[in-house]
Amino acid sequence: MSVKDVAAKSGVSFQTTSKVLNGKGSVSDVTRARILRAARELGYVPNLLARSLVMHATRAIGLVASDLSDNNLSRFIVGAEQEARRRGYSIIVTGVESGGSGGGEALPALIERRVDGILLATPDLEVDRSSRRSLQGTLPVVSLHHVPVRVSAFVGCDDQLIGQLATAHLIDGGHRRIATVIGPPGRHATSGRLDGYRQALETAGIEFDQSLVANASGEIEEAVRATKELIARRPDLTAIFAQNDLMAVGVLAALRDMGRRVPEDCAVVGCDDIDVAAYTAPPLTTVHVPFHEVGEAAMRVLLDAIENPSTSRSNMSLGVRLVVRAST
């Protein structure tokens, strides 16, 4: 089934039919509806390869992600895909191995597929220098993380604000010996949230104490270990800020194992507001991060850069908010 067949059935010229089916040109709503109805009745499927050769664009976006099983990343991808679909684009998702240099393989593969732009959603590329060679001066790129390449924009949330909100909430609750369980060292989110923690302490006149900081690399099991080490080292602590909700689940488990009541003996705050946060025992106070909205915004910025390359871009930070539950 071809454009000529759709034109013949709709009674509209080939040129106008072609423009409508390719999302181009300006025609009346009545004419557009007639052409699209004819296309549906005939079962017309556009030849994307032929269209890309004519338009010098594939209307496809490459999305590079890390752990595709991560629920937060899934929310981001859904938001990005929905925004792309609304604008007439499709996405090609490729994963990179955590801790590896997957960007050096994934990025050239996407570029070879002639994608119109790339959305980066993996913190591993923050230290992957191979990505610099792959993306240098090639096509529009938007990233959630601070990668070592020139990008059209960074889109995400303010990690310092996240650390400040969580810690200030604990301070407002009367706590002065507040520990923090941090994610993988060297990542921008980890350092930003730790900076926010320190700033909140400083604002309240509380001295930063390195003995109240423990690294759990973002994992539940590691958070259990880190919490037990914290309690052994500083049994006088009364609150813990975990830099993500998965680690907060580990913190709650460790406190339960050690016979410490939450929040009576130790208050706990997480970050992300994953679905299970409302159903832990007790329900977890956390900082809500709008992953779905970040995906939509990041894709919108990328598509704007593709369609209007001369327009200047600026980084975008979406708002976060504290969700107070029984763990504090």
Domain check: are 80 and 137 in the same one? yes
Domain check: are 192 and 113 in the same one? no
Token code pair at residue 74: 């899934």
Cis bond upstream, residue 282 (ω within 30): yes
pLDDT at 245: 97
- Domain annotation covers residue 274: yes
Q: Which one of 133, 151, 169 terminates a domain?
A: 151
Asked if 186 contacts 217 with a C-beta cutoff of 8 angstroms, the reply is: no
Domain check: are 136 and 221 in the same one? no
Domain check: are 135 and 180 in the same one? no
Domain check: are 128 and 174 in the same one? no
Q: Which one of 108, 130, 151 terminates a domain?
A: 151
- Domain annotation covers residue 304: no
pLDDT at 58: 77
Task: Find the CATH number of the domain harbouring 42.
Answer: 1.10.260.40
Question: b/e per residue, 207-228, with b = 16+ CB within 10 A?
Answer: eeeeebbbbbbbbbebbbebbb
Domain check: are 114 and 207 in the same one? no
- Domain annotation covers residue 306: no
pLDDT at 154: 93
What Å distances lie between residue 305 and 94, 116, 140, 157, CA to CA?
A: 21, 10, 6, 20
Asked if 113 contacts 62 with a C-beta cutoff of 8 angstroms, the reply is: yes
pLDDT at 53: 45
- Domain annotation covers residue 295: no
- Domain annotation covers residue 119: yes
Q: Give dist(CA 251, CA 115) in Å, integer.
A: 43
Domain that residue 97 falls in: 55-151
- Domain annotation covers residue 72: yes
Domain check: are 175 and 271 in the same one? yes
Domain check: are 147 and 180 in the same one? no
Number of helices (H), then strands (E), in the chain: 12, 12
| Torsions phi, psi for 275 (to 5 deg) | -55, -40
Q: Which one of 151, 178, 195 terminates a domain?
A: 151
Domain check: are 82 and 145 in the same one? yes
- Domain annotation covers residue 320: no
Binned average pLDDT, 10 residues per bin, the chain of 328 residues: 83 85 76 88 67 62 86 92 92 76 67 86 76 68 84 92 98 98 92 98 98 95 97 97 97 98 98 96 98 96 90 89 98
Q: Give dist(CA 60, CA 168) in Å, integer.
A: 43
User: What is the tally of structural domains in the chain?
Assistant: 3
- Domain annotation covers residue 183: yes
pLDDT at 111: 77
The maximal CA–CA distance of the chain, rounded, in angstroms, is 81
Task: Find the CATH number of the domain harbouring 272.
Answer: 3.40.50.2300
Domain check: are 11 and 100 in the same one? no
Residues 205, 228, 71, 274, CA torsion sign:
negative
Q: Give dist(CA 198, CA 24) in Å, integer.
A: 53
Domain check: are 99 and 197 in the same one? no
The helix or strand, by DSSP H or E, that contains position 304, with its residue range, turns out to be helix 291-307
